[in-house]
Amino acid sequence: MPAKKGKKKDAMDPVEFEAKDNLRRAEAEIFSLQRQLDVAGQEMQYAREHEREWRERLDAFGLAMEQQRENTLDIMWVQNLR
């Protein structure tokens, strides 16, 4: 068999090593940012749900107050008839 020409690459080229290291860091950063985005999205959804619940409660209290006001006016009107 003929001998192989050229030298064997046992060690990685410094430029190639740096490029792979930069790629690994970038992938880790992307993963971290995606995770932060997921968490922020979950927090936003949670906040929207609670805001909706509070608005529904506020509407219910407003309706209850209006009903109470009408009842009070009815009572006052009946008392004035006596």
Q: What does the alpha-carbon distance between residue 2 and residue 71 come to, in Å, rounded to a whole number?
A: 107
Q: How many residues does the structure list for the chain?
A: 82
Model-level pTM greater than 0.85? no
Condensed to tens digits (0 to 9), the pLDDT of residues 37-77 reads 999 999 999 999 999 999 999 999 999 999 999 999 988 88
Which residues lie closer than 8 Å to 12 by C-beta, 6 or more apart?
20
Q: What secondary structure letter does DSSP report for 47?
A: H
Share of the chain above pLDDT 90, in %: 71
**Range 5-22 average pLDDT:** 78
C-alpha span between 75 and 82 (Å, rounded): 11
Q: How far apart are CA 51 and CA 47, in angstroms?
A: 6
pLDDT of 7 above 60: no
